[in-house]
Amino acid sequence: MSHVTRESLQSIKKSGVKMQLLLFFYNNPFTVDDLEGISMWVGMHKKEITREMEELCQMRLLVKRGTSHSYYRMTENSQLVEEVQKLIKEFYAQRKTKAS
Amino acid sequence: MSNIQTGITGLDEVLHGGIPRENSVLVKGPPGSGKTTLALQFLYHGIVECNEPGLIISFEEFPQLIYRDAQNMGWDLKKLEKENKLRVMCTSPQLVQEQLGTKEGFLADLIEEIGAKRVVVDSITHLQRLEQEPVKLRELFNKMINAFKREGLMPFIIAEAAAEKERLGFEEYAVDSVIILSQEVKGHMSTRYLQVMKSRGQNFITGRHTFQITGDGLEVFPRITAPRAVVNYQPSSQIRNSFGVPELDQMLGGGLIEGNSLLLAGGSGAGKSLLGLQFLMQGAAVGEPGLLVDLEEHPSQITRNAATLGFDFEELLHQEKVFTLCTSPVELDLNEHFYIIKKMVKEKGIKRVVIDTISNYEGCVDDPALYKDYIHALINYFKNNGITSVHITEVDELLGINTITFHKVSFLVDAIILLRYVELGTELRKALLVVKMRGGAHDKDIREYLIEENGIQLRRIDPEEMGKKLSFQHYNGILSETPRSVNRANSGQLLPGTGRHPDERQGDDYPGKNC
Closest residue in chain A to residue B107, using alpha carbons only: A32
Closest residue in chain B to residue A70, using alpha carbons only: B95
Which of A23, A30, A36, A78 to probe the B interface (max B CBs under 10 A)?
A: A30
Inter-chain touch A69–B98, beta carbons under 8 Å? yes
Q: What is the dihedral of CA B86, B89, B92, B98, to 10 degrees?
A: -40
What's the mean per-residue pLDDT of chain A? 87
Q: Which helix (H) or strand (E) holds B157?
A: strand B154-160
Name the CATH topology of A6-93.
Arc Repressor Mutant, subunit A (1.10.10)
Inter-chain touch A34–B88, beta carbons under 8 Å? no
CA distance B131 to chain A (A): 16
**pLDDT at B511 (0 to 100):** 38
Closest residue in chain A to residue B84, using alpha carbons only: A30
What domains sit in chain B, N to C, each tagged with a CATH number? 3-221 (3.40.50.300), 240-459 (3.40.50.300), 461-515 (no CATH)
Is A20 strand, coil or helix? helix
Which of B58, B64, B91, B119 to probe the A interface (max A CBs under 10 A)?
A: B91
Beta strand A71-74 pairing with A62-65:
antiparallel
**pLDDT at B410 (0 to 100):** 77
Q: In chain B, what residues touch A65 (CB-CB under 8 Å)? A: 105-106
Q: In chain B, what residues touch A29 (CB-CB under 8 Å)? A: 63, 81
Interval A11-26: pLDDT, tens: 887 778 999 999 999 9
Inter-chain touch A71–B95, beta carbons under 8 Å? yes
Interval A27-56: pLDDT, tens: 999 999 999 999 999 999 999 999 999 999
CA angle B287, B292, B296 (to 5 degrees): 160
Q: Which helix (H) or strand (E) holds B87?
A: strand B86-90
Phi then psi for B158, rounded to 5 degrees?
A: -100, 135
Please, what's the largest Cα pairwise distance for chain A? 48
How far is the C-alpha of B284 from the C-alpha of B352, rounded, in Å? 9
**Whether residue B102 has a cis bond before it, omega within 30° of 0:** no
Q: Mean pLDDT by 10-residue block, N- to C-terminus, for chain B (515 residues)?
A: 87 94 93 93 96 94 94 95 94 86 80 93 82 80 88 91 59 91 85 95 93 94 75 71 93 93 91 94 96 92 89 94 92 90 96 93 82 89 94 78 60 90 80 88 86 85 52 66 60 46 43 33
**pLDDT at A74 (0 to 100):** 93
Q: Which of B135, B127, B137, B138 is nearest to B57 (CA)?
A: B127
CA distance A4 to chain B (A): 24
Contact indicator for B456, B278 with CB cutoff of 8 Å = yes
Of B62, B92, B95, nearest to A28 by CB-CB distance is B62
Inter-chain touch B91–A65, beta carbons under 8 Å? no
ipTM of model over 0.90: no
Inter-chain touch B90–A73, beta carbons under 8 Å? no
